[in-house]
């Protein structure tokens, strides 16, 4: 096992915010703010985290818990603790190892990884790099002609499930990206780029690794017929031309025989529609506050969705998870597991694969410590009796 870099050792990095600070020091502002930022005024981004603070614990005292069983089962897959790594686009800009490094760290930790369509690494390489389950997150970028071959490649490579993101009819208005010149830095002329170059030159270590990695990568999993892999710069325009509709499930099922997960559900109505369409699971998600601002925080919506589902399919949740205690709260409310995005991406931006490993170590230790302090010996034993939930969170 490789040595943990000194900067990531327990004496220095004890929580996810420490990894965030390291990532902020290493990454250019344009890249860090892409990872960190949300849509519009970032109201939902902030409320996602605050919602976890609104749920409080009800521990059982004086109960000896010498060992905790953190294992759970999601989509028929056994994982070591109830957290999977969410799809994070543009990961290769954060670190050359990108999606391969994150998937490898997830597998080594005994959990799963979900690969974004907007990946700088081939899906076959990501799957081969992990010893754990890997799922493929689907955008219909490039239309059916580009999506069908990618789904078939994922099936042939042994991906475990297809995760369809449904909340991207257009890309959210992420104001930080405009202020920082993301578009100009990716695709502008040299003259257009001049006002924004200082932030890259201020991070020479990142800049050197970026050039060694070949600069702006193409998207090898979005292959446009007669054109080849899509340039990374074309993503936002392509999203608005390729929005998912429920009717698309008909042809997707003909290509993908495995489990299908719908990610982006925020109402009981859409949860029931997902069940009617025969999906295996749903993810209660507002895209980390990056799409429509001023929607409810995902955790607050969870009780409504669970009531609508009534145990018929699995329900996961993402958005705002920064501590193991957040994971425990979500499971107490009824989620099968959570997806973590920024929490591990900070680690990736800080130090590549070892940073992701450290993020998972922190979260897993947090979960185990929280269970022991609650007087609960296993994830399976958690329920709503261990938490207080705000009375105004709707359940129907």
CA 3 – CA 210 distance, rounded (Å): 24
Query: How many H helices and E strands in the chain?
Result: 19, 14
Phi, psi of 336 (to 5 degrees): -70, -35
Contacts of 306 (CB under 8 A, 6+ apart): 315, 333, 334, 335, 395
Residue 287 bears catalytic tag: yes
CA distances to 48, 52, 81, 355, 366 from 16, in Å:
16, 15, 17, 10, 11
DSSP one-letter code for 99 = H
CA 251 – CA 379 distance, rounded (Å): 37
Q: Kindly report the CA angle at 380 between 375 and 385, in degrees rounded to 5? A: 55
DSSP one-letter code for 181 = T
Contacts of 208 (CB under 8 A, 6+ apart): none
CA 389 – CA 307 distance, rounded (Å): 15
Catalytic entry in 95, 121, 179, 287: 287
Write down the H helix ranges in 83-217.
Answer: 91-94, 98-108, 123-129, 143-157, 175-180, 182-187, 190-193, 197-201, 204-212
List, by residue number, the catalytic residues: 287
């Amino acid at each position: 096992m490789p040595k943990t870099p000194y900067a990531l050792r327990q004496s220095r990095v004890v929580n996810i915010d420490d990894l965030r600070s390291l990532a902020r020091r290493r990454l250019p502002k344009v890249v860090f703010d892409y990872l960190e930022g949300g849509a519009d005024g970032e109201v939902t981004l902030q409320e996602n985290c605050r919602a976890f603070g609104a749920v409080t614990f009800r521990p059982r005292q004086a109960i000896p818990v010498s060992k905790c069983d953190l294992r759970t089962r999601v989509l028929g897959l056994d994982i070591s603790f109830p957290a999977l790594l969410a799809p994070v686009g543009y990961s290769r800009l954060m670190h050359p190892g990108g999606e391969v490094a994150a998937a490898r760290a997830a597998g080594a930790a005994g959990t799963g990884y979900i690969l974004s369509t907007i990946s700088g690494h081939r899906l076959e390489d990501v799957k081969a790099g992990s010893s754990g389950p890997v799922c493929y997150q689907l955008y219909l970028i490039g239309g059916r002609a580009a999506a069908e071959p990618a789904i078939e490649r994922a099936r042939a490579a042994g991906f475990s499930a297809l995760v369809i993101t449904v909340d991207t009819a257009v890309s959210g208005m992420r104001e930080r990206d405009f202020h920082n010149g993301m578009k100009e830095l990716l695709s502008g002329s040299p003259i257009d780029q001049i006002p924004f170059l200082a932030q890259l030159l201020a991070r020479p270590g990142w800049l050197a690794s970026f050039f060694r990695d070949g600069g702006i990568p193409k998207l090898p999993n979005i292959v446009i017929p007669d054109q080849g892999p899509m340039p990374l710069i074309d993503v936002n325009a392509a999203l608005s031309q390729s929005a998912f509709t429920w009717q698309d499930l008909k042809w997707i099922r003909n290509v993908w025989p495995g489990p299908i997960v719908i990610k982006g559900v925020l109402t009981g109505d859409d949860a029931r529609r997902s069940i009617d369409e025969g999906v295996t699971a749903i993810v209660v998600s507002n895209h980390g506050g990056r799409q429509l601002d001023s929607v409810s925080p995902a955790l607050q919506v969870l009780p409504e969705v669970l009531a609508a589902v009534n145990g018929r399919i699995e329900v996961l949740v993402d958005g705002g998870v920064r501590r193991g205690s957040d994971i425990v709260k979500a499971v107490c409310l009824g989620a099968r597991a959570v997806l973590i995005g920024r929490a591990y991406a900070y680690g990736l931006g800080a130090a590549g694969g070892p940073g992701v490993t450290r993020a998972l170590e922190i979260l897993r230790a947090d979960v185990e410590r929280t269970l022991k302090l609650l007087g609960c010996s296993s994830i399976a034993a958690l329920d709503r009796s261990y938490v207080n939930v705000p009375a105004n969170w709707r359940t129907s």
